[in-house]
Structure 1
């Protein structure tokens, strides 16, 4: 540890089952010169180590008493109903500590239930605060989402201490200390533009990055998922949106796989930020399955293999009309300037003449739907070019720059 960099690391665990592990990590962190705050989210047996914030306090923060939870545990086998109280209580407890300036990093240890509690608290902290989940398994995206947390998988179950797992705990302690010691960069100087990209639009996004750099904008690109982008918009970090590849609209509103993301396309509108949308990659639905395992509804559609276990399906008129309706509704409700820039010769690297997904009629139906549904205040600009063409990329950059300047967000 460098001199003058004492940090406070919060440790969150169910101390009735993961207490020894937590105590070991706590001692490792303290040996490195940092402070710790231990939170107990256990509910059944006695804690194996002393907590700084008790399970009784966590339960109250979750909206009930520990005694009430213990009574519920005797009456039901539904553990999740009980754990949900501790998830909410732990999240509120950690957020309160953060608001008090007492969180420089958060480390949690757990199995399935402990991970749900730990991740729940981590997702309640701002981006940039170090978050390390030491878990017995990896968990689905629905639990972890797009948070900037790190998952460290244990080589054995977290039951007591032994030479195998102690080494993992020591590494975890070292990792969270190192992350917390990193000095954050100073405040941004230039406006920051958030962009979305996907592999089939990456060449154009890379060109845009260079153009924005020369125009005086910094940029950050989000690949296939914009959840973190929306968080940064809400936190006031982002100054404008270049939504070049909003492919997840299909996954959210057509396939209905991500219902928790129904607010997609709304954050910039609420903040009044300039927002340019390009239909990049909307020519495809991406399925993470091999060709032979395609669901029946997609078997007779145009397909493209992006890898052994990633299959793209060409979107049809009905699906793109759904997207047009959603996109228009959200753009119409935006409080900031917005525009849709439409490449007439294709939406991706495989949607151009002679390639697998080239279908100007379907794309044209999408354009017609947008024109019918967008209000007059939202511009729709047609460009006679392919999405990857230099001419299209330059036009998109010009439109964004003009819009940003009108919105009084000027590059430095």
Structure 2
């Protein structure tokens, strides 16, 4: 007997719209092979040609002339640019605009791009602007090279290294393309549609020197919320999801990106830290978690000269932690205030007076008993937004009572 439910599930997982982006002036043969592989899996590939010159060996669904027009140019104008960097940037804008139109029409279930340095720069730029509900793969011959920075890669995409350069079809490049096709097809097949009835999401930012997330999660789950934990290592993942509307409330209990921004540490993301929740107006509780140090990626010997006299702690062979100074802590507080004073939503500063990390306790390398009071003082004196309040708690940031208070304050604001 035919199991119609199983048939329905199989059919539902097929016929997905997968966008293929390539510069067909150099990657035409590879793009056609990839397109055919996706079709064989029962999906609908849509090829966009982001190339600037030359002709394709097949007709793409959207050619480079249409891409140029979507960027407000003609293809001849772009071809006349003196620099290839300016030209590929214009094509990236055109592809990004086309992608937004396809998204609004419901014609994108996944995206894959292939290329060397030009195609990779094009693909990465486009993928950064897409929501996390769209699976993304970049098959690149420069995936794991210094040319690719963490900031250039979308927080949720897959980077695949092509073992051989994508310079025609051979047994090596075919293998890479086959795996890439299988990966993007598998991703769109397993991507579940979002359920409007799912629990509201509360984000928690943290580091390995904190354990408050272990206390906060069961408290939030018990109140009907879904906690999602973010590692404060500079990906801006939390900020991106806030802007995409996935996050309903925020326990921003680690400001490590902001600390590194002020102190010239290795962790990026300080430019955007705090801003998304303030702009979107979602309720938030902010604590100065990891205010006591910034991160240095490298050995102790690579530390800048002006940091070498400070307390330094080896977190692991890849990372050293450098203690912040009292003046740096005050500067961080002032920058934090500058951003939070612009918030559109209810915000609470929760300052633990007994320490900001596992390393900031009596007997530990970064212990500073006066730091909590001094930090809270700056916040209270500089607050100008009636939506913002500052609360002190006589506890360490890793104490259960701190986590309970943070969750309690946020739930009050969300109600």
TM normalised by structure 2 equals 0.91
Aligned residue in 2 for 1:129? 134
Q: CA shift at 1:376, angstroms?
A: 6.9
Larger mean CA deviation between 357-366 and 19-28 belongs to 357-366
Aligned residue in 2 for 1:95? 100
Q: CA shift at 1:277, angstroms?
A: 0.3
Q: 1:68-107 alignment to 2 at 5 Å?
A: 68-72=77-81, 76=82, 78-107=83-112
Q: 1:118-157 alignment to 2 at 5 Å?
A: 118-138=123-143, 139-144=148-153, 146-157=154-165
Residue of 364, 381, 406 corresponding to 2:373: 364
Aligned residue in 1 for 2:245? 236
Aligned residue in 1 for 2:354? 345
Task: Give CA-to-partner distance per residue, 1:105-130, whole Å, 9 cap, x none.
Answer: 10000111111100111112111201
Q: Contact 1:128/1:148 (CA < 8 Å) preserved in 2?
A: no
Q: CA shift at 1:161, angstroms?
A: 0.3
Asked if 1:300 is matched to 2:305, the reply is no
Aligned residue in 2 for 1:269? 278
Aligned residue in 1 for 2:6? none
What is the Cα-based RMSD across aligned positions, in Å?
1.9
Mapped partners of 2:251, 2:375: distance in 1: 20
Q: Contact 1:291/1:309 (CA < 8 Å) preserved in 2?
A: no
- CA change 1:83–1:257 in 2 (3 A) is farther
Residue of 111, 114, 117 corresponding to 1:112: 117
Q: Which runs of 5+ in 1 are unaligned?
A: 406-412
Mapped partners of 2:66, 2:265: distance in 1: 38
Mapped partners of 2:178, 2:235: distance in 1: 34
Q: 1:394-409 alignment to 2 at 5 Å?
A: 394-405=404-415
Larger mean CA deviation between 297-306 and 396-405 belongs to 396-405
Q: CA shift at 1:362, angstroms?
A: 3.7
Mapped partners of 2:214, 2:18: distance in 1: 38
Task: Give CA-to-partner distance per residue, 1:60-81, whole Å, 9 cap, x none.
Answer: 2122211112222xxx3x3211
Q: Contact 2:113/2:138 (CA < 8 Å) preserved in 1?
A: yes
Aligned residue in 2 for 1:216? 224
Larger mean CA deviation between 29-38 and 254-263 belongs to 254-263
Aligned residue in 2 for 1:246? 255
Q: CA shift at 1:253, angstroms?
A: 4.2
- CA change 1:210–1:235 in 2 (3 A) is same
Q: Contact 1:39/1:53 (CA < 8 Å) preserved in 2?
A: yes
- CA change 1:260–1:302 in 2 (3 A) is closer
Mapped partners of 1:358, 1:205: distance in 2: 22
Q: Which runs of 5+ in 2 are unaligned?
A: 1-8
Q: Contact 1:317/1:366 (CA < 8 Å) preserved in 2?
A: no
Aligned residue in 2 for 1:165? 173
Asked if 1:227 is matched to 2:232, the reply is no
Aligned residue in 1 for 2:51? 42
TM normalised by structure 1 equals 0.92
Mapped partners of 1:221, 1:260: distance in 2: 17
Mapped partners of 2:295, 2:140: distance in 1: 29
Q: 1:282-361 alignment to 2 at 5 Å?
A: 282-361=291-370
Q: CA shift at 1:178, angstroms?
A: 0.8
Mapped partners of 1:140, 1:38: distance in 2: 26
Q: CA shift at 1:20, angstroms?
A: 0.9
Mapped partners of 2:58, 2:235: distance in 1: 40
Aligned residue in 2 for 1:385? 395
Q: Contact 1:15/1:49 (CA < 8 Å) preserved in 2?
A: no
